[in-house]
Amino acid sequence: MQETDILIIGGGPAGLVAALTAKKFYPSKKIILIREKEELIIPCAIPYIFKRLDDIEDDLISKKILSENNILTMIGKVEKLDKSNKSVFLGDGNGIKYDKLILALGSQPTIVPIEGINKKGIFFIKKDFNYLKKLKEEVLKAEKITIIGGGFIGVEIAEELSSIQPFKDISIIEKEDHCLGSVFDRDFVVLAEEKLKEKGVKLVNGRSVKRIFGAEKVEGLVLEDGTKIETELIIVAIGARPNTELAEKAGLKIGERGAIEVDEYLKTSENDIFAVGDCAETKDFFTRDYIPAMLASTACLEARVAGSNLYELKILRENKGTLATFSTFINDSFFAVSGMTEEAAKRQGFEVIVGESEGFNRHPAKFKDTGKFKLKLIFAKNSGVIIGGEMTGPKDQSEIINLIALAIQKKVDAYELSFLQIATHPLLSSPPTAYPVISASLKAINKLIMR
Amino acid sequence: MQETDILIIGGGPAGLVAALTAKKFYPSKKIILIREKEELIIPCAIPYIFKRLDDIEDDLISKKILSENNILTMIGKVEKLDKSNKSVFLGDGNGIKYDKLILALGSQPTIVPIEGINKKGIFFIKKDFNYLKKLKEEVLKAEKITIIGGGFIGVEIAEELSSIQPFKDISIIEKEDHCLGSVFDRDFVVLAEEKLKEKGVKLVNGRSVKRIFGAEKVEGLVLEDGTKIETELIIVAIGARPNTELAEKAGLKIGERGAIEVDEYLKTSENDIFAVGDCAETKDFFTRDYIPAMLASTACLEARVAGSNLYELKILRENKGTLATFSTFINDSFFAVSGMTEEAAKRQGFEVIVGESEGFNRHPAKFKDTGKFKLKLIFAKNSGVIIGGEMTGPKDQSEIINLIALAIQKKVDAYELSFLQIATHPLLSSPPTAYPVISASLKAINKLIMR
């Protein structure tokens, strides 16, 4: 039986970063990473394999980074985890003994109990090279495509497909009132939907799919209100569920939300086993409630925490809660959010003060490549501490969301933000007289001192 | 004699922001702003009046923002300040009594004692509409143009002029070894100079100008080593000096570096008089030494501090020191710095650990608009606290310098930065596995724990 110091199961971003971090912090340890598939898809860029990337091959994670860092790789499916003997077993019966184990098992598409869901021509978003290759072939052939689910992935795929020429008929069916409605406040959602419509995407909001019809292959679907939509191809993008089977069978604790239970160091209920990424449970930054965030950025953070805490816990290196920070790009604008939206904050019981700012990303605004932005910052009413931000604008302002994310993580207040010392440049940013974060903070302060 | 509660002298960004801030914090007060000229140039964009902006008219600050905010404007030159009677007098003899006064007197080009400096065809960077209009006319006619001074303004003008077709012969003469050499570390300076050379700009480094020759109009210049350079037009961009004459004559204290002395609330030696922007002295964020920073962003911060502290000082609203944060754009890349460079830190006696990161602004890097970045973070060795950062890359990463600026202002350490929770997106950013700030911080940590 093979032996290793550190074993990582899973080859996605979480597994990869866990392995690389472990190597940096424990350079003398032997590390093996086992993954199921030869090819590793970059998950966040799956929506862009249809047009912006020439080939699906362009969306693969480079494998050489593992060998370059002296991390051994094995291809295979781990069928069994025996935690008392600190061993795992592959499908072919081969076993590996470990000292420390990191589970980065990922997630898979949520099962949807819609009548007709198993017909030909219905695809899910699987991180599988051959499956996606087949999906791309079918997409390029189809003229009418329907996407079920108006979350980030559904919206991004719709936007991408709407650029393929000759133009296709692209629809999104979203059961809530708006696409991205659970992520952004209403005022931003409306702007995002406008951008989708500019690209020709049809939005069918506020209705669920009742059944899918067609002989062998999908021919259309019927909504709960009876509306019939003809379509040649359906892409289902309604979320993912954590892969926990291996952990569950081994007797690791599963949290109430169905993901592997972990502490602040990403340690599972078993001392030498860690879990990171989509398979591990996630707690909210503000409330410590369980949240269903499955983000590559969060996964990488968790992997860095686990990978650096394997042999001794480090108080400065724990995960105190996940600050959901997202961005996406629609037509010509990014849409991004960090922390709480105004609606989410109110729903959770926070009293908030909001500061908004609109303007241009150049100064003067007469430059030919000038674009418009809109920013909203959300502050806790009594302390003035920032708890969220939402922004849309041209690409070159998109990193402002990460400045906001840092501000939230450091509990910066509106006063401090209104005195932020920043760089501005005519060709790169808004003017120093109206830098978005400063202007929005000043607006909030004015509300705070006027009340 | 006219009376006002708050009087602001100067119509540049500092004066404007001081007036608007005062209006927000003291909405019932009467505010008058006096400026010398009818037209207000946006100073940072002066380099771009030659090509990227169609007309100099495009580089004017909108005047209606003052009237919209109920701020009275007067055009005129203040010739005298009588601080005992709290009054100022214009050239035409008209007087205005104030309760609180903010001086935003700006700066003017440094005088250079070069032989022949007064010939025709030699221009300085003056914030004067008609002067700049004349300069633009002359620039468009000339074929050979020489810029004296390779700081930000000189470099930006050279880069701009190098895009005008038919192409002109553009040279920069910089007395130090490199353009921008006092702002960036050597490794970034070399990249910036490459970008200038790609644009066809000729760099004459390490030599001063000895004399300028020509009959009535400039025909060329001679360097200290005897090199002769023929030129039709010279633009001098070697810095600026604060306008302090009015303050000095009125008996306000002038600091050792020649700017108006101010405290942390931007108050001068006289209780009811504040000074902001280029005319006021600036202290360094780290050392509290006087520094010659004259930035619009810093000026706006000072204006916000003064404008909100006029009638009662607010402990949360003081300026504890200027964090110099700059950005510029050359050819296809931004170059930005916040806080200390590695060289500056060592010169000042800080022991530092440096973390670097290079990579791409997309993930995967196969997207057609992918570009390369280079980031360097500078941390204090013992605490691990970030004290500086330098970056170059494509436009859409330029706001990362402001995230770094916030991190410096909040004294964030390398451990915290390596666990930053951020948004990443294939079309907008580097991958979550290698976000620039996180990667560079991890590199620094590895040096810290390995030593």
pLDDT single digits (tens) A157-202 = 999 999 999 999 999 999 999 999 999 999 999 999 999 999 999 9
What average pLDDT does range B247-264 have in this prediction? 95
Give the pLDDT band (50/70/90) at residue A328: very high
The predicted pLDDT at position B317 comes to 67
Residue in B47, B319, B338 closest to A423 by CB: B338
Q: Please name the residue of chain A whose CA is at the shortest distance from the CA of residue B305.
A: A419
Please state whether beta strands B352-360 and A372-380 pair in parallel, antiparallel, or not at all (unpaired). unpaired
Mean pLDDT for chain B overall: 95
The verdict on a CB contact (< 8 Å) between A406 and B406 is: yes
The verdict on a CB contact (< 8 Å) between B402 and A407 is: no
The verdict on a CB contact (< 8 Å) between B399 and A396 is: yes
A62 CB contacts (<8 Å, ≥6 apart)?
A: none
Mean pLDDT for chain A overall: 95
Residue in A42, A405, A423 closest to B402 by CB: A423
The verdict on a CB contact (< 8 Å) between B398 and A396 is: yes
What average pLDDT does range A361-386 have in this prediction? 96
Please state whether beta strands A386-393 and A372-380 pair in parallel, antiparallel, or not at all (unpaired). antiparallel
A347 CB contacts (<8 Å, ≥6 apart)?
A: none
The verdict on a CB contact (< 8 Å) between A399 and B336 is: no
The verdict on a CB contact (< 8 Å) between B403 and A401 is: no
Give the pLDDT band (50/70/90) at residue B13: very high
- Measured CA distances, B132 to A243, A362, B40, B56, B216 (Å): 66, 21, 12, 8, 21
- Burial (CB count within 10 angstroms: exposed 0-12, middle 13-18, buried 19+), residue B228: exposed
CA distance B423 to chain A (A): 5
What average pLDDT does range A249-262 have in this prediction? 95
CA distance B76 to chain A (A): 23
E strand intervals along B318-398: 325-330, 333-339, 352-360, 372-380, 386-393
* pLDDT reading at A296 higher than 70: yes
Residues of B with Cβ-Cβ distance to A327 under 8 angstroms: 423-425, 428-429
Tracing tokens 């394997």 back to the chain, one arrives at A310
**H-helix or E-strand containing A439?**
helix A436-450
Best residue of B427, B428, B445, B449 to probe chain A, by most A CBs closer than 10 Å: B427
Question: What whole-number distance in Å separates Cα of residue A82 and Cα of residue A84?
Answer: 6
Question: What whole-number distance in Å separates Cα of residue B340 and Cα of residue B378?
Answer: 7
pLDDT digits (tens, 9 = 90+) for B290-348: 888 889 999 999 999 999 999 987 766 678 789 999 999 999 999 999 999 999 999 99
Three-state DSSP state, B161: helix
The predicted pLDDT at position A256 comes to 87
* pLDDT reading at A275 higher than 90: yes
* Percent of chain B clearing pLDDT 90 (strictly above): 90
Residues of B with Cβ-Cβ distance to A444 under 8 angstroms: none
The predicted pLDDT at position B320 comes to 79
- Give the total residue count for chain B: 451
The verdict on a CB contact (< 8 Å) between A364 and B45 is: yes
pLDDT digits (tens, 9 = 90+) for B127-176: 999 999 999 999 999 999 999 999 999 999 999 999 999 999 999 999 99
- Is-contact A226 A247, C-beta < 8 A? no
Three-state DSSP state, B374: strand
The predicted pLDDT at position A290 comes to 86
B113 CB contacts (<8 Å, ≥6 apart)?
A: none
pLDDT digits (tens, 9 = 90+) for A419-450: 999 999 999 999 999 999 999 999 999 888 76
Question: What whole-number distance in Å separates Cα of residue B51 and Cα of residue B54?
Answer: 6
Best residue of A42, A297, A415 to probe chain B, by most B CBs closer than 10 Å: A297
The predicted pLDDT at position B316 comes to 67
Residues of A with Cβ-Cβ distance to B20 under 8 angstroms: 433
What average pLDDT does range B255-261 have in this prediction? 93
B260 CB contacts (<8 Å, ≥6 apart)?
A: B103, B105, B242, B244, B247, B252, B253, B254, B268, B275, B279, B280, B281
- Give the total residue count for chain A: 451
The answer to ipTM > 0.90 is: yes
- Is-contact A334 A327, C-beta < 8 A? yes
* Percent of chain B clearing pLDDT 70 (strictly above): 99
- Is-contact B385 B412, C-beta < 8 A? yes
The verdict on a CB contact (< 8 Å) between B300 and A433 is: yes
The predicted pLDDT at position A316 comes to 67
Q: At what angle do helices B436-450 and B400-409 cross, to 10 degrees?
A: 50
The verdict on a CB contact (< 8 Å) between A45 and B326 is: no
Residues of A with Cβ-Cβ distance to B327 under 8 angstroms: 423-425, 428-429
Residue B215 token pair: 């009959």
Task: Taking the CA atoms of B295, B301, B303 and B305 in sequence, report the sign of the dihedral they define.
Answer: negative
> Is the pTM higher than 0.90?
yes
The verdict on a CB contact (< 8 Å) between A420 and B406 is: yes
The predicted pLDDT at position A411 comes to 96
Q: At what angle do helices A436-450 and B13-25 cross, to 10 degrees?
A: 20
Q: Please name the residue of chain B whose CA is at the shortest distance from the CA of residue A57.
A: B366
